[in-house]
Amino acid sequence: MINTISLSRSKPKKQGVSPQKILNFIEAIEEKELELHSFMFLRHGNVISEGWWEPYKPNLKHTLFSLSKSFTSAAIGYAIEDGLITVEDTIISFFPNDISKKIDNNLSTMKIKHLLTMSTGHENDLTGKIYSAKDGNWVKAFFESPVENVPGTKFVYNSAATYMLSAIIQKVTSQTLLSYLESKLFNQLGILATWETCPNGINTGGWGLNITTEDIAKFGQLYLQKGMWNNKRILSEEWINTSTAVHIANGNDEDSDWSQGYGYQFWRCRHNIYRGDGAFGQFCIVIPDQDAVIAITSATNDMQSVLNCVWEYLLPAFDDLSNYADESIQETLEHKLTSLSLSDALKKHNSSPISKQVSNKHYEFEKNEYNIKTLWINFREDISTFTIVDNKYKHQLDCGIGKWLESKTTLLSYESEDSTQHLNKSLTAAIGNWKDPCTFILSIRFIETLFCYTIIFKFNDDNLMIEPSVNVSFGENNLPVIKGRVGKL
């Protein structure tokens, strides 16, 4: 068990940053309805501004999605320092037993540097293909995919490439990627992490890392300090410089931060800035010219707008002396940051004359996409409990009426690896309220991820219609509607 390490705290003014501009940033984010979950702003190694949108909290880990890739890049740097690999090593040399077909020239010349730069030669991202491998051997599935182009000639974002980096780390160190980074990096920075694995026990590499917002900021600060931490070298300065430099072109849109060049699992940005990022707005932004780092977690499909707000409001904040004399601005900013919240529309304590009538009625459902058979709701004044029976399990979820309520639920959880009769529980915060006398809205946030499910319950005599949706997804946000009717107990 390691001790967590907190970063130093300071005020924006003391570090030469305008609190007014930070306040403008937060207001712009909310005005544009960009769903941020957390924000942390560092300058000169000090946290000068931070906030979490309720029900998210500083101590909770958050799913990073592809921001995980930048941490995998660091692991490759360590393995190079340890003399275990070079970026010129061919991929097939590590996995001779997983290659079951004739090796073509493109595959034979694919190197670690091509995995790092997303230039493997594949025409498309292979993540879906390796994920669905029936035998669970993702490495083998990677090698069975055709390599249409000469490696190094074309940028194609490919999370499977990063998975292969993780597999290489495990091959040469006899440790998982997570274990290797714990000894090299995480323990040094006081980071407690979890990381998804494939069926064969290899960390997914390109996604699946879970850490706190402050941990993201620590990682960015380490890179800003060129690998130094508490006057001790943690990571090679040469590797940091190399991995954050442009290695391949990835577009020609001068207004897009996805077209400024790609390094070794890092994106270049406008304004001489670089970042790691993950789907739906997980950011570690490093601003060398201003000695600053910004960490953000969010759930938005418009990641460019988040970055645009950073460039528009926070970049001009450095060394801006205007409004410094007005101490009330700092107070206003601090009040704003401590009162951030999501789902404010559900916070009025509304009631319904039918709540007692429908409470604990068992609604039965015909065959549906969610395998739900029966549902009943115990409506009380401050808390409601939802009980759902599907084709295998009985689930419960507690919901605050007009207020967030934390609980653990097996709803939408995966079966544990050690038992097919047991589900892992996920931490949730749920809030609900009556929109009108016959319509109840439930918001469920899985607060160690970025997903929020909004479920609308429409009661009509003995009938119940359920309309679910999710805040962000790789598919449709509106989910299939199901209908139930009061059944016999």
pLDDT tens-digit series, residues 374-404: 999 999 989 999 999 998 899 999 999 999 9
Q: Residue 65 — very low, low, confident or very high, per pLDDT cuts 50/70/90?
A: very high
CB 29 within 8 A of CB 306: yes
* Over residues 266-286, mean pLDDT: 98
Band (5; pLDDT cuts 50, 70, 90): confident
pLDDT at 417: 47
Q: Which of 282, 307, 338 is the last residue of a domain?
A: 338
Check whether residue 334 and residue 217 sit in a common domain.
Answer: yes
Question: What per-residue confidence (pLDDT) applies to 2?
Answer: 54
Q: Is the pLDDT of residue 84 over 90?
A: yes
Looking at the domain assignment, is residue 271 inside a domain? yes
pLDDT at 414: 58
- Same domain for 481 and 350, yes or no, is yes
Judgement on whether residues 315 and 349 belong to the same structural domain of the protein: no
Arithmetic mean of pLDDT, 94-105: 89
Q: What whole-number percentage of the chain has pLDDT above 70?
A: 95
Average pLDDT over residues 12-20: 96
pLDDT mean over 239-263: 97
| CA–CA distance, 222 with 239 (Å, rounded to integer) | 12
Residue 192 lies in a domain: no
Percent residues over pLDDT 90 in the chain: 89
- Nearest C-alpha neighbor of 43 from the set 78, 14, 74, 3: 14
Residue 203 lies in a domain: no
Residue 268 CA to residue 249 CA, distance in Å, equals 10
**Is the predicted pLDDT of residue 147 greater than 90, yes or no?**
yes
- Burial code (b: 16+ CB inside 10 Å, e: under 16) for 260-287 equals bbbbbbbbbbeeebbbbbbbbbbbbbbb
- The token duo for 352 is 């319904």
Please give the mean pLDDT across all residues of the chain: 94
Amino acid 347: pLDDT: 85
The C-alpha atoms of residue 121 and residue 111 are separated, in whole angstroms, by 11
Is 365 contained in some domain? yes
- Looking at the structure, do residues 296 and 373 belong to the same domain, yes or no? no
In sequence order, the β-bridge partners of residue 276 are 284
> Is the pLDDT at 413 greater than 60, yes or no?
yes
Higher pLDDT, 278 or 489: 278
pLDDT score, position 412 = 80
Averaged pLDDT, 336-358 = 90
Q: What is the pLDDT of residues 414-462, one digit of tens each?
A: 554 444 455 789 999 999 999 999 999 999 999 999 999 999 999 999 9
In a domain, 460, yes or no: yes
pLDDT at 419: 43
CB 265 within 8 A of CB 166: no
- 477 and 360 part of one domain: yes
Domain holding 365: CATH number? 2.40.128.20
Segments of 299-451 assigned E as strands = 363-365, 372-379, 383-390, 394-401, 405-409, 426-436, 439-446
Burial class (CB in 10 A: 0-12, 13-18, 19+), 123: middle
Last residue of a domain, one of 288, 312, 338: 338
From CA 375, how far away is CA 364, in angstroms rounded? 7
Cis omega (within 30 of 0) for bond into 55: yes
Same domain flag for 416 and 472: yes
Query: Is pLDDT of 409 > 80?
Result: yes
E strand or H helix at 327: helix 327-338
Res 418: pLDDT: 46
In 3D space, the residue among 162, 184, 163 whose CA is nearest the CA of residue 173 turns out to be 184
Residues 362 and 444 in one domain: yes
329 & 350 share domain = no
Claim to verify: residue 406 and residue 326 sit in the same structural domain = no
Q: Which residues of 227-246 are buried (b: 16+ CB within 10 A; e: fewer)?
A: bebeeeebbbeebbebbbee
Residue 105 lies in a domain: no
> Where in the sequence is the domain holding 228, given as residue range(s)?
8-60+212-338
pLDDT tier at 102 (50, 70, 90 boundaries)? confident
* Element spanning 23, H or E: helix 19-31
Once rounded to an integer, what is the mean pLDDT over residues 198-220?
98
Helix (H, G, I), strand (E, B) or coil at 436: strand
Residues 467 and 370 in one domain: yes
Whole-angstrom Cα distance, residue 345 to residue 359? Answer: 23
More confident residue, 184 or 476: 184
Instruction: Compute the average pLDDT of residues 209-223.
Output: 98
Structure token pair of residue 322: 């205007």
Q: What is the pLDDT of residue 3?
A: 58
Residue 267 lies in a domain: yes
Predicted local confidence at residue 489, as pLDDT: 42
Q: Which residue has the tokens 């930070």?
A: 22
- Distance, in Å, from the CA atom of 90 to the CA atom of 228, rounded to the nearest integer, reads 31
Which pTM does this prediction carry?
0.95
**Do 398 and 300 sit in the same domain of this protein?**
no
* Domain final residue pick, 278, 309, 338: 338
**How many domains, in total, are found in the chain?**
2
How many CB atoms lie under 10 A from the CB of residue 2? 12
**Residue 188 parent element (H or E):** helix 187-189
Are the C-beta atoms of 53 and 213 separated by less than 8 Å?
no
Q: Domain with 278 in it: what CATH number?
A: 3.40.710.10
Whole-number Cα distances in Å, 125 to 19, 100, 120, 131, 206: 42, 21, 10, 11, 12
Parallel, antiparallel, or unpaired: how do β-strands 372-379 and 383-390 relate? antiparallel
pLDDT over threshold 70, residue 303: yes
Residue 329 and residue 355 in one domain? no
Question: Which of the residue ranges 105-114, 194-203, 409-418 would you say has the lowest mean pLDDT?
Answer: 409-418
Average pLDDT over residues 121-143: 96
- Is residue 398 a part of any domain in this protein? yes
